[in-house]
Structure formats: structure tokens, C-alpha cells
A and B are shown apart, each in its own frame.
Chain A
């Protein structure tokens, strides 16, 4: 918000996968392998879909929100926002995602 007031432009986050990962979908879950740490993680279907998309190409936070709204229409806007925040925080903490600011 401060940035918007200062420079008069909206700031969006660009999110991308930081390291090489392998993933497999098993039933309605994803298991991913982090090449750098050697760690293996279990993800629910939504997180798995998001991470797979990000593994193909970087996306802005807005794009991720739109993707979630489109694919998971049964969730409310607030739920989706919260979900996305938790998703980003979790995988940034695991050093799997990279978040950079970009002016829209």
C-alpha cells in the first residue's frame, strides 16, 4: 500500500520456483522432491497444482489468485486469499519459492 501511495503504481509479487523439483501426483495428493535439499514433501491437491504451474513458469500473485478462483470456485475470495498466503509463506520458508516485487 505504501509503495502504491509513493509511486502511484500497483505492486504485484512475482512468484517462481527457486530450485529444481520433481513431482508425482498420487491419487489426490502430490509428492515433491527438492533437488537442492533432498527433502520430500507431501502436498494437498491444490498446493500441488499451484506448485506444478509455478514449476513451468513464474506467475504473479494476481495470476495465481485468478487460477485458484477458476479451479476452485467453491471457495470464497477470502478463503482463497488466505490459502494463497499460507501456501506462499510455507514454500518460501522451505526455500522452494522465490517472491520478487514488480510494478504493474
Chain B
């Protein structure tokens, strides 16, 4: 089957208007939209993702369109539809591409209970997954982007999918969402990195998405074994500091960071406990990306 990038621009646009069906890690997506920013976003950032057949099962049918004809012209807005349902209030039209990413996060987090889903970036090297849970502003996406630009495999910058069946981490390699100063930091760190449109004035400030590496997308059917659970904290001008964290405390924090821990009940507890037992757990303070990468690369080589 072909990739999205095999479609000429006009054909891609036409296909998105009629429903673009593509593979995204372990999910099948059908995206429908006639908004130019959305098709540009897909063209720039989703090129290596595989198109799927008409008859393949779709996990998430999503649609981005104006909530009414009037809203196409007067203070234009965009709504996110999931299976015909509107889970969010409309956003300004200019935020359509970012809305696609946020809406898809919501779809996965709320409808994939075959995984314990943590709000965490996850990258892989030497077959081992390093998991970085974090609240907004902790620097997890910046760290994730820098690691990915340094050759680590991207599994996800936003959600860690821990399989309830085999305890492995399953990839959803999507564009890395960067905010405000982080955009410039990564552009300077890796001038070759490809970025999508800069969306300003969102509730989170300015947002831009960095393209996931092609190799990460090609390996998106290969899970990784959880190895390190690291709670990052970006602290300006700080020394690089990796401090062991007790497994009990790490488990509590990981549970707090999980979207569906309470839904999964005791099974979620047991699967998380299993993961914590096999991971080394740390708190990590940093300000210099180069030092962070050198440290984690050394840590992954030790195994």
C-alpha cells in the first residue's frame, strides 16, 4: 500500500475532502476535512504514513469543519467531530491543524483501554523504551524532540501506550508538539528538523509540530520494552541531575499521569506495577539538551 506522500497535492486534498484513510501506529484513522490548513498539515507532517484500504476497520473517524455556514465567513471557527459527535467547543479557524492533533489525542486517550495510557513522551534506543511522564512545562516534549533529532526512535511525544496484554510499549509516532520557546530551541538544536505551520494565540500559546522521523514511522508496528521511567523537569540554568526515585513513589506519580488508570481498575494497577518493577526510576533536572542526550545515550548503552 502507498504512503500519503505518494499522493500529489491536489489528489491528497481531494482525498481528505472525501475521507483520507491511513495507518497511525496501532490505529486506523479516517480524516475528513475541506480546510486547506488541515490538508497542508497532513501533507507536510504525515507523508510517510501508510494509506489503508477502503475495507479496513477504522478506529477513529474524525472530521474538521466549520460548525455552520456563517462561521466560515464571520469570525471563522472550526469544530472537531468524532463519529459525528462534537466533544469540544469550536476553536478559531486558524487553529484547525492543531485542533486535529489535540482531538486525536482525546480520541486515543478515551477509547483505547487495551492500553494503559500515560501522559508521557516515550523514545527507544537499543530496543529499550525510556518513558518521560510530565505535566505541561516540564520539558518532556522538548527533551523528546531533541532525543529524536539525535537518532532515538520516536514512539510518542504525548502518550505512552502500555499494552494490557504483553506489557510492551506500542508506538504512535505522530508529529511532536512544541510550544513557545521550545520551537526555537529545537530549530536551533536541529536546523534540519521539519516543522508544520506556526499556530499562534492558542490556549497554550504558540504551537508548532515537528515531523516524526520517517524511520520511526516505518517501525511503528514494533513495540519496545519499558526500561527507564524518568520524570523530567526543565529548570533554567540548572546542572544536569539524574536522581534515583523510589519505585513506590514513581508508581504513584505514573498512576497520576495515566488517563485511564481508574477505568482499568485493578488490572491497570497490576500492569503498572509490572512495568515499574522492570524499570529504573529517576527524577531528572536539566537545562542543557546536549548533556541530557549524552547522559541518556550512555544509560541506554549500559544495558
Contacts and interface: CB of A to CB of B under 8 A. Distances in A.
Interface of A: 22, 24, 26-31, 33, 35, 38, 40, 42-43
B247 A22 contact: no
Contacts of B262: 38
Contact of B277 (A26, A35, A38, A43): A26
Interface stretch (B2-10, B166-174, B213-221, B263-271): B263-271
Nearest to B262: A38
Nearest to B252: A42
Contact of A26 (B265, B269, B273): B273
Contact of B246 (A22, A24, A27, A35): A27
Interface residues of B, number: 16
A50 to B, nearest CB: 16
A22 B248 contact: no
A26 B276 contact: yes
B161 interface: no
Interface string B100-131: 00000000000000000000000000000000
Interface string B144-165: 0000000000000000000000
The 4 closest A-B pairs by CB, nearest first: A29-B248, A26-B247, A33-B269, A24-B273
A78 B48 CA distance: 68
A33 B262 CA distance: 11
Contacts of A35: 265-266
Given A24-B273, A35-B266, 7 more contacts: A22-B269, A22-B270, A26-B251, A26-B273, A27-B246, A42-B248, A42-B249
B255 interface: yes
Contacts of B247: 26-27, 29
A40 B270 contact: no
A43 B277 CA distance: 17
A27 B248 contact: yes
Interface string B241-259: 0000011110110010000
Nearest to B268: A33
Contacts of B270: 22
21 contacts: A22-B266, A24-B251, A26-B251, A26-B276, A26-B277, A27-B248, A28-B246, A29-B247, A29-B248, A29-B249, A30-B248, A31-B251, A31-B273, A33-B266, A33-B269, A35-B265, A35-B266, A40-B251, A40-B255, A40-B261, A42-B248
Contacts of A26: 246-248, 251, 273, 276-277
